Amino acid sequence: MKVDRREAKMVNVQFGDRILKVIEGPYSYYSDGYAWFKFGSVGVVPGEQRFRVEVDAPNGANVSLDAIVLATGDFHPSGIHVPEAQLPANISDKPAKPKTGRGH
């Protein structure tokens, strides 16, 4: 995410009924001012999940979002390098099949 340090506290991520705010960062800068921020942890249950990113800035804010990572266990960003992932045995790395039918 690329955001002025003072404006980072205005970025919220709603995941289910939880609203997460920046709790760590910026760290591991990369590209043109982008850095990693930690918003916290959530429990995820099987099935469809939705999240929403909001910027609560009445006068506007300059925020660029380039990636969101949901990871099991520890995640240690290293700039632009993709981290090594160790998936638990019960999680597949294959893409989910698209839903079919009306409304999807």
Residue range 47-60, pLDDT digits in tens? 888 899 999 998 98
User: CA–CA distance from 51 to each of 15, 18, 44, 68, 84 (Å)?
Assistant: 4, 10, 12, 10, 24
Q: Which domain holds residue 56?
A: 1-104
Residue range 69-99, pLDDT digits in tens? 888 777 888 888 876 656 566 655 565 566 6
Domain count along the chain: 1
pTM above 0.75, yes or no: no
